[in-house]
């Protein structure tokens, strides 16, 4: 029973260390990649008349304006 408790404690300590490492990496990535400072590139795409399909064509009439 004592061995299981020691093993559990060691696993909890390992989990805590891994969690701390993970949080440190998340903070480092968050500091390095900020969406507000990213440079955006404008890309113009010209529309074409190909690959256009009509799925629904409807006529609606309301007799009372």
pLDDT, tens digit (0-9, with 9 covering 90-100), for 7-17? 999 999 999 99
Phi/psi of residue 34, nearest 5 degrees: -110, 120
17-21, 36-40, 56-60, range with the lowest pLDDT: 36-40
pLDDT of residue 18: 98
* Residues 57, 62: Cα–Cα separation, whole Å: 17
State yes or no: pLDDT of 47 exceeds 90.
no
Question: To 5 degrees, how large is the angle CA 31–CA 32–CA 35?
Answer: 85
Q: Does the pTM of the predicted model rise above 0.75? A: no
């Amino acid at each position: 029973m004592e061995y299981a408790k020691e093993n559990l404690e060691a696993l909890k300590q390992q989990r805590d260390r891994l969690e701390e490492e993970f949080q440190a990496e998340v903070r480092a990535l968050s500091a390095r990649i900020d969406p507000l400072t990213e440079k955006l590139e404008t890309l113009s795409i010209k529309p074409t008349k190909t690959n256009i399909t009509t799925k629904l064509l409807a006529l609606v009439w309301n007799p009372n304006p």
